[in-house]
Amino acid sequence: MLRIFNNDISNPDKFVITLELVPKRESGGLSTDTLINIAKDAFADGRVSAVSITDNPGGNPSLSPDVLGYEIFRHGMDVIVHFTCRDMNRAGMESRALQLARMGMKNILALTGDYSGKGFGGQGTPVFDFDSVILTKMLHKLNERLAASEDPDGFFTGCAVSPFKTTEAECEAQYRKLDRKIEAGASFIITQLGYDVDKFQELITRSSIKGITIPALASVYMLSPKAAKAMNRGKVPGVIVSDSLCNRIIKEWENSKQDGLHNAIERAARLAVILKGIGYKGIHIGGIHRSFKAVGAILDKMAIMEHNWQDYVEGFRTEDKNCFYIYRTSDSKKFDNAIESIISKDNLHTINETVVSSSKEPVTTIENLKENLLDHYPYLLLKQLHELFFNKSSSLSPVYKAFAEVIDKNNKAWILKMFIEDPSKRLLLSCKGCGDCGIQHIAFQCPESGCPKHTRNGACGGSRDGFCEVDKDKKCIWVRAFNRLKKSDKTENLSKEFVPPRMWELNNTSSWINFHLGRDHQKE
């Protein structure tokens, strides 16, 4: 069984190269053959540790990464299979995981996934029974079963993170969810795509300070004008391409495709050597659709450039002065020196002394008032009500439990639900009646009605400037959660602990009764 990627990424002296392949909406033909040939050429080249294969990117149907991956796997190239939560419920996902294990493909990139796109007859039903944290946990638990069945190789599960967020709330939500993914069993990280070196450094810095030791691969992309425009307009969730970079790429390709391709290869190689220089374990190359030649050219240029990587850093600094950074200083040289101190494993106090947090300008009084009315005051009210009625350590908890037992025994829970629970929760929370309430995990907001992906363990990577990937005129529910908690000086509660998946067997039952009788996910 191939374990090339696992072995390479575990080798302290190896800088790992992976390559992303994107299947199209056909089972065979030229585009599929092209991907197979790219993988074969990558294997023959010897510098690529694995190819990763996307899972219905954009939520649109395409050839399964499992079948394409297995064909590539049989040719000798190791494979990382993208595994999303969008299209299957938990039974389907577990079945798919067992299938992958049987096929020998155990490198998994666990993702919540883009929102559902269009298939036969229109838009597909978004499932999102799990989020990426729960999926990672499931794969970790499956490893125990594989070991018990004398399978020596378990799943090698990776996770994604998007450092390229512009607001404090988004940054914190991303990193807190990363913590949960690692706790759930993630063994490697692949970043989302961006071109801000300070944001790339931010992830390395935070990981060093937090003691995160799992390896991180940084995404590098061969940008064409078409791809740059789509990313610039937010068509690819979580990816950031600035206006200036987009315009530069369009101009580079105007004279000739050859000039444009040359500049794209040069840019990718420059970013790659910077990422190697600041401490990433490897790079994850995307945007390769026609042949392996461009990848080979990038790797060849890297070998020439890597000793002078500092010379290219300024070309990847953002011009957005309003972008939030957890660690940054106006003196870029000080910042680079501090990062180098961390990379060389010097004392961590260096970074704390020289690098400071930055944020956007304070909001206006009117905006503050609006935020208080929509977020802060409702949060305080719901928090007080929760402490009064749903705190199992309170002195009244046994009374509530006894009351719930009487109502449940006499089959009268529907009266409580219909006349008190449903009206009040619909008014305050737009409650969907799941019976397994998770509002306390998201600063007293409903994950079923408030988040199109129903995430209970942190934000997905698709938000942009604080707004939801799907409902673009609404703030991300996790951004609102952070803002609520920050105002109450409780940000440590954001994604504080692993939250189990929703219990569908409780759907349309009283969550109040379920809570006090220990039926929901909060059994303890």
Domain residue limits, the chain: 4-224+281-295, 366-516
Each residue's pLDDT expressed in tens, for the chain with a length of 524 residues: 577 999 999 999 999 999 999 999 999 888 999 999 999 999 999 999 999 999 999 999 999 999 999 999 999 999 999 999 999 999 999 999 999 999 999 999 999 999 999 999 999 999 999 999 999 999 999 999 999 999 889 999 999 999 999 999 999 999 999 999 999 999 999 999 999 999 999 999 999 999 999 999 999 999 999 999 999 999 999 899 999 999 999 999 998 999 999 999 999 999 999 999 999 999 999 999 999 999 999 999 999 999 999 999 999 998 777 899 998 654 455 455 555 554 454 444 334 434 444 444 445 567 666 666 778 889 999 999 999 999 999 999 999 999 999 999 999 999 999 999 999 999 999 999 999 999 999 999 999 999 999 999 999 999 999 999 999 999 999 999 999 999 999 999 999 999 999 999 999 999 999 999 999 999 76
- Contacting residues for 399 by C-beta, under 8 A, at least 6 apart: none
Q: What CA–CA distance (Å, rounded) separates 22 from 32?
A: 9
Q: What is the pTM of this model?
A: 0.92
Residues in the chain: 524
Contact criterion met (CB below 8 Å) for 21 and 39: yes
Write the single-letter amino acid at 337: N
Residues 6+ apart with CB under 8 A from 412: none
Contacts of 143-150 with CB under 8 Å at 24 or more apart are 143/185, 146/101
What's the pLDDT score for residue 356? 45
In 3D space, the residue among 179, 163, 200, 168 whose CA is nearest the CA of residue 335 turns out to be: 200
Burial degree of 443 (CB within 10 A; 0-12, 13-18, 19+): buried
- C-alpha span between 93 and 96 (Å, rounded): 5
Contact yes or no for 132/111 (Cβ under 8 A): yes
User: Backbone phi, then psi, for 412, in 5-degree steps?
Assistant: -110, 10
Residue type at position 499: V
CA distance 507 to 484: 28
- Judged by DSSP in three states, 457 sits in coil
HSE-CB at 499 with a 13 A cutoff on CA atoms is 24
Helix intervals (H) in 149-285: 168-184, 197-210, 225-232, 243-255, 257-278
**Cα 268 from Cα 349, distance rounded (Å):** 33
**Count of CB atoms within 10 A of residue 508's CB?**
11
**Residue 11 corresponds to which amino acid?**
N
Measured over the CA atoms of residue 462, residue 464, residue 470 and residue 471, the dihedral's sign is: positive
The DSSP string of 84-139 is: ESSS--HHHHHHHHHHHHHHT--EEEEE--PPP-EETTEEPPP--SS-HHHHHHHH
Nearest in space to 170 (alpha carbons), one of 387, 500, 385, 466: 466
| Residues 306, 114: Cα–Cα separation, whole Å | 34
Determine whether 427 is exposed, middle or buried from the number of CB atoms within 10 Å of its CB (0-12, 13-18, 19+): exposed
**86-to-114, 245, 294 alpha-carbon distances in Å:** 7, 31, 32
What is the CATH code of the structural domain delimited by 4-224+281-295? 3.20.20.220
Q: How far is CA 357 from the centre of its chain?
A: 23
In this prediction, residue 367 carries a pLDDT of 66
DSSP letters spanning 141-179:
HHHHHHHHTT-S---EEEEEE----SSHHHHHHHHHHHH
